[in-house]
Structure 1
């Protein structure tokens, strides 16, 4: 009951695949996962997705983070079109592998059956009909097969994360669509700003999938410091001063200002043409306004002192992050006691900590492992350098009585959803590729994130 497609690979008949799908749907495990799938906004909008993808050659699909578009849209196409062969491009290796594993588990299958992945130096996709791959792997594939024979659908996920490779693949796809009228292209993004792609692909159909968003309360740096310093435990934890951006701020309002730190602030935030000096600023009373770390004083350009102080260095406030995690856990325990519930009855909500890169994750992980109880906290890094076993722990439910702390980069902004996240600690920075005009090379530097990225990260606590 098998035939060969144009690529020479064996393909089961439509009837056999439908029977196999019906059989899996009868499994208890499939039923349990099916309930989670059905709760996702992308699954609820399946009729619209299937009809639009079937009727248009190019589809622009925007869906809020956590709506299920990355896991559900490929499956909806796969189940509605049994003869489909789908390629899904992901900007990151870890997203390609984890999404493939997630979908395979939702379908009660092993990797490599219906679902697989292809990444540099590895993959499980010999006979898979739905393959997740990185941008580089896709480029190599289309260079060896310029017609993408046997492929019926191509999905670009996270298209807003553009670079030279992504744009190159986009150019190739637009040219290929002109030659292959049977090929379907789906561009997916967590942002509604799709105007560029609307202009590039004429007559593209559009779909918008809303997310499941719960109210999120946001606290900023000065509020966090004020909250922690009200508690004697954390005053001793943080020591005599607060580390803000690498500058030690005295804990007492009456303390003398660190002269080295003051010079850094003044000279970095004073325009030369203003002819301001440190002594001139002292006469205006600005120095006294900044002496107290909990003051609400505003500086020359309206920035709060924490904003300005953190500009002077890209060091992180690791002690504050540690104290904040403990504060969150203590607050949760007090709430459980007030309700008369035991801490051991259910797992505590996951804390997601955003950091720029692997070095920052590694350093904070070592500090947390050293200072925190391993029975209570499970410290898990989320990065492309961690092993598959470590990645699996991140997506497994926490054991009752424990709390997961996931240390991640901007990969968790949109590409990957960590279920059970109730708290987000955002350091506000990310690693970005920039061009050095002096060295004439691309460099990976730490920089401040955009307001849109900050909103995406905060929204992770409300999914």
Structure 2
């Protein structure tokens, strides 16, 4: 046992030794002889200190009762003499309350304990941990007192236990007294040792009270919760959150990140004291909502946010990237205010390097916590050969083999598009029609599985024997003994493994060659085939979650929507074609196109993981392992594949002018930023860049253009900037409800069903044909005639939404008219959101979503066409004239400013046969040709008036002569123009007179004629020179014309508003210059009437 620590009143606790004492002789100890000493044997023997000697002595007879009474009285009298007063007793604390209440934090003095300088104080029984003596007033001393008070009981028990081990006849030596420090001086010549330096105190972590908020969960919910893999990582996650401001959590789909991490934070108290835990989802974060939420994190109300969780960050949507960049700066700013904000980034398959190795985003790399998923093992099988063209046919053959040879289990097939999904479903339904035989009993399932496995082995053996029989005769002398290539050994090893695994139930490699006659119907093996893609009706999507009919196998043919968005139960086999259809956007031409490309390795792993949700599964990849090795590891972020003008506008509205310096996780290219700012400048959302002499400075100015008032208004609408300008311009003539409906319809894609898909039967083909004719007729009805028809496809959208809302937006109406019910519901929600946004900007509008909205009038249709032209000005196209036809491919074609190839109106458009001269389009889709969608007609005279930033104007025309507009207070003129880049000639229109000295001359002329201010018209006949003298070439020869012109230029007074502003600063402005044009006798009258602004 280690050394005992020194305690309070140590001298009083010491026992007398057996040696001689200098004091008075001590009376002999009293020994008692008890009758029940056998019963109490061991009790007295254990208290060796209380026994003075081991010899037994007989006691004297007890004194009489009278003597005891007198002795007791004397004792009480002596005690009363030394008893403390009541005032003194109130100063003491009872020992029953030690360590509780305010006594816990009371500083206790220790007068009896003297510690020499440099002597260390033992703070534990073992003596391993030593502390220097601290001042009694520090917090550390208070905590040490508590530990000492708790340890005293242990110290009191240790001596008794030690003595009991020594035995009854052992004499215990007392503790040696502490030597007092010597006060004598050291001998001469002997160096005095310096006092030991005090060791610096160890840094102590800030003590925080533990917070736990209980949550009452049902036993069933708790049992399901305990199965989630992330629950075992709760302590690791919460410790990382407590110690780091930013944490990244990576876990596969199904690990429980989305549902459990917010509960961890809630139970840890991050939502207590009126705090908020914010969670974002990539499909819920819109531009306006994101900007408002992020900016509120620094506002007084936003300080309630203690934790922000960014979920599904692996999708790398543009708004997720922007949100991460903004929060990376807000976390730092909140830390400086001592109001810490925690940021959690959660994803399934995240390219962690974009976050951990991005010093611009995170100066200190955040910790990464990986959570294992609840996944069964999945065996991946690669093809030996990769089909380049007919991958859909290869999928069909693989499904047939799986269905005929392998045990029960659902099949999930990944294809690229809706047309391929329906085509494969038709072939599978034809090959495996539903059986009409009675369903098998459940007891036969295991027997069927065994029979299927035996059938699979026999078919493999027959296939091997057939391959052996048809092998050609080969003379090995004609071949070299050297190996032909690197892959031969691998291929031979694959063949050996394949042959050796015929007896194994785990090796289910089906091979990748040969025909199986899959087109022949086989009703004995029914297959329940279901399609799945994003545009499918919700009720049809829900069918994949229902169990298949008894006696059938489920087969789901899906697009990449089944990778992460949905988890289909019962899937055991996955067939991956390795392809995906992506939307690509050309940032220069604005053309969108869908291209079929290879998936990334992360996406391929996601697809394979679909087979291991409920049991061990298998994934059959229709490409070789070498091709898989060439896949990119992660898909490119969305911000690098789409236009970014909406992001730039939102960031400018947040006062982030230099967007190029923003900490993007993956920054967009400089070309994309320049194209976005160029579009925003043309739309009037940004101010034009300042002119600079150097190219670098000009480019720098182009990337830091400030936002305009119109741009701030546009930024409040959660739509693309083109559509936002349409809303900003539609306030007049009651066009706002119609503009909101058109914008909502253009934002939601694929309003109509795809009726060009392959039919599964002749009956379905006839039904699709009749439905296509009916939908085409309804489009013509909704488009109308005359002015309404010129609005084109946008009028069809407006009519379709109006008719659907009038009918109650029921699924039956949508099905009957070829409309997608899901799209119509999304349009309804977006209309409500846009209506609320417009009311917030313009409260006097008092808009509401009217389900009984009436069709627009003819004049309103004209205004809507002009609004659409102003918003889609960069999407202008001109029909190729007959004299310009050089090749047949240009017949009925249109020319755009940014494309050299011809574009055409889509055959589904109502303007397909009209062929207007000028049109604007919503987008160009490239298939076999380049087709324009969302087409509307444009009048040629509107182009220079509504799109001046896209026109190059000539000099003002002399005929007709420039005029003054009293309503606008400006000088107008007629100018011809051409459209930029292509040089299309445009008619001359009346526009503002261009800036320059000539505008001042014309304004001076109209001022002298009295057209600007009517009060000066009465003096026109008294002028010494004609006002037209201002326009003459020899006008500089007259001092009066030169002085008036210089005065106007000095104050930049070239319009009525500028002149009124100058008079507001100086009422005598232009008085002397105007008096030079009048006789001397009229000067007093004009001085009294100056400035002439009373009746303008």
TM-score range, shorter chain: 0.5 to 0.7
2:578 corresponds to 1:428: yes
Q: Deviations over 1:373-416 (max 9, x none)?
A: 45754434443323444444444555664433233333433454
Output the CA distance in 2 between the equivalents of 1:322 and 1:183.
53
Q: What's the offset of the Cα at 1:185?
A: 1.9
Q: Deviations over 1:336-373 (max 9, x none)?
A: xxxxxxxxxxxx43322112233333433344455544
Asked if 1 retains the 8 angstrom alpha-carbon contact of 2:392 and 2:420, the reply is no
Taking a change above 3 Å as real, the CA distance of residues 447 and 67 of structure 1, as seen in their structure-2 partners, is same
Q: Where does residue 218 of structure 2 map in the other structure?
A: 25
Asked if 2 retains the 8 angstrom alpha-carbon contact of 1:365 and 1:407, the reply is yes
Length-normalised TM-score, structure 2: 0.25
Taking a change above 3 Å as real, the CA distance of residues 331 and 435 of structure 1, as seen in their structure-2 partners, is same
Taking a change above 3 Å as real, the CA distance of residues 390 and 51 of structure 1, as seen in their structure-2 partners, is farther
Q: What's the offset of the Cα at 1:152?
A: 4.1
Aligned counterparts, 1:297-308, within 5 A:
304=385, 306-307=386-387
Q: What's the offset of the Cα at 1:441?
A: 3.7
Asked if 2 retains the 8 angstrom alpha-carbon contact of 1:351 and 1:424, the reply is yes
Q: Where does residue 142 of structure 1 map in the other structure?
A: 290
Which of 412, 429, 444 is matched with 2:562 structurally?
Answer: 412
Output the CA distance in 2 between the equivalents of 1:53 and 1:418.
33
Asked if 1 retains the 8 angstrom alpha-carbon contact of 2:313 and 2:350, the reply is no
Q: Where does residue 467 of structure 2 map in the other structure?
A: none
Which of 169, 176, 184 is matched with 2:330 structurally?
Answer: 176
Asked if 1 retains the 8 angstrom alpha-carbon contact of 2:276 and 2:306, the reply is yes
Divergent runs of 4+, >6 A: none
Aligned counterparts, 1:298-337, within 5 A:
304=385, 306-307=386-387, 310=388, 313=389, 316-318=391-393, 320-332=394-406, 335=407
Q: Where does residue 154 of structure 1 map in the other structure?
A: 308
Asked if 1 retains the 8 angstrom alpha-carbon contact of 2:530 and 2:544, the reply is yes
Q: Quote the RMSD (CA, aligned, Å).
A: 3.5
Output the CA distance in 2 between the equivalents of 1:174 and 1:41.
29
Taking a change above 3 Å as real, the CA distance of residues 451 and 57 of structure 1, as seen in their structure-2 partners, is same
Asked if 1 retains the 8 angstrom alpha-carbon contact of 2:580 and 2:597, the reply is yes
Aligned counterparts, 1:120-269, within 5 A:
133=284, 135=285, 137=286, 139-145=287-293, 146-148=295-297, 149=302, 150-180=304-334, 181-191=339-349, 193-198=351-356, 199=358, 200-201=361-362, 202-222=364-384
Q: Where does residue 6 of structure 1 map in the other structure?
A: none
Asked if 1 retains the 8 angstrom alpha-carbon contact of 2:528 and 2:549, the reply is no
Asked if 1 retains the 8 angstrom alpha-carbon contact of 2:355 and 2:365, the reply is no
Asked if 1 retains the 8 angstrom alpha-carbon contact of 2:392 and 2:415, the reply is no
Answer 1 or 2: which has greater strand percent.
1
Q: Deviations over 1:229-253 (max 9, x none)?
A: xxxxxxxxxxxxxxxxxxxxxxxxx
Output the CA distance in 2 between the equivalents of 1:63 and 1:52.
16
Give the match's secondary structure for 1:217.
Answer: strand
Give the match's secondary structure for 2:314.
Answer: coil
Give the match's secondary structure for 1:385.
Answer: coil
Taking a change above 3 Å as real, the CA distance of residues 379 and 140 of structure 1, as seen in their structure-2 partners, is farther
Q: Deviations over 1:288-327 (max 9, x none)?
A: xxxxxxxxxxxxxxxx4x44xx1xx4x5424x43343343
Taking a change above 3 Å as real, the CA distance of residues 358 and 69 of structure 1, as seen in their structure-2 partners, is farther
Output the CA distance in 2 between the equivalents of 1:366 and 1:449.
25
Asked if 2 retains the 8 angstrom alpha-carbon contact of 1:428 and 1:449, the reply is yes
Q: Where does residue 596 of structure 2 map in the other structure?
A: 446
Output the CA distance in 2 between the equivalents of 1:373 and 1:85.
55
Q: Can you give the 5+ residue segments of structure 1 that lack an aligned partner in the other structure?
A: 1-13, 94-132, 223-303, 336-347
Output the CA distance in 2 between the equivalents of 1:383 and 1:74.
31
Q: Deviations over 1:139-196 (max 9, x none)?
A: 3213334215354433223323335433222222223323444433221223364122
Which of 425, 439, 453 is matched with 1:365 structurally?
Answer: 425
2:227 corresponds to 1:39: yes
Taking a change above 3 Å as real, the CA distance of residues 390 and 71 of structure 1, as seen in their structure-2 partners, is farther
Give the match's secondary structure for 2:315.
Answer: coil
Segment drifting more, 66-75 vs 36-45: 66-75
Taking a change above 3 Å as real, the CA distance of residues 366 and 412 of structure 1, as seen in their structure-2 partners, is same
Output the CA distance in 2 between the equivalents of 1:47 and 1:396.
37
Taking a change above 3 Å as real, the CA distance of residues 76 and 317 of structure 1, as seen in their structure-2 partners, is same
Asked if 1 retains the 8 angstrom alpha-carbon contact of 2:250 and 2:347, the reply is yes
Output the CA distance in 2 between the equivalents of 1:374 and 1:68.
38
Output the CA distance in 2 between the equivalents of 1:396 and 1:37.
24
Asked if 1 retains the 8 angstrom alpha-carbon contact of 2:392 and 2:424, the reply is no
Output the CA distance in 1 between the equivalents of 2:592 and 2:277.
33
Output the CA distance in 2 between the equivalents of 1:54 and 1:394.
42
2:245 corresponds to 1:57: yes
Output the CA distance in 2 between the equivalents of 1:211 and 1:147.
35
Output the CA distance in 2 between the equivalents of 1:382 and 1:389.
11
Equivalent pairs counted in the alignment come to 296
Give the match's secondary structure for 2:379.
Answer: coil
Q: Deviations over 1:237-277 (max 9, x none)?
A: xxxxxxxxxxxxxxxxxxxxxxxxxxxxxxxxxxxxxxxxx
Asked if 2 retains the 8 angstrom alpha-carbon contact of 1:435 and 1:443, the reply is yes
Output the CA distance in 2 between the equivalents of 1:326 and 1:208.
38
Length-normalised TM-score, structure 1: 0.54
Taking a change above 3 Å as real, the CA distance of residues 50 and 442 of structure 1, as seen in their structure-2 partners, is farther
For the pair shown, the structure with the greater C-alpha radius of gyration is 2
Q: What's the offset of the Cα at 1:426?
A: 0.5
Q: Can you give the 5+ residue segments of structure 2 that lack an aligned partner in the other structure?
A: 1-210, 436-525, 614-1096
Taking a change above 3 Å as real, the CA distance of residues 68 and 419 of structure 1, as seen in their structure-2 partners, is farther
Taking a change above 3 Å as real, the CA distance of residues 401 and 38 of structure 1, as seen in their structure-2 partners, is farther
Give the match's secondary structure for 1:317.
Answer: helix
Give the match's secondary structure for 2:396.
Answer: helix
Give the match's secondary structure for 2:261.
Answer: helix
Output the CA distance in 1 between the equivalents of 2:422 and 2:266.
39
Q: Deviations over 1:209-246 (max 9, x none)?
A: 12344443333345xxxxxxxxxxxxxxxxxxxxxxxx
Asked if 1 retains the 8 angstrom alpha-carbon contact of 2:229 and 2:255, the reply is yes
Which of 409, 415, 420 is matched with 1:355 structurally?
Answer: 415
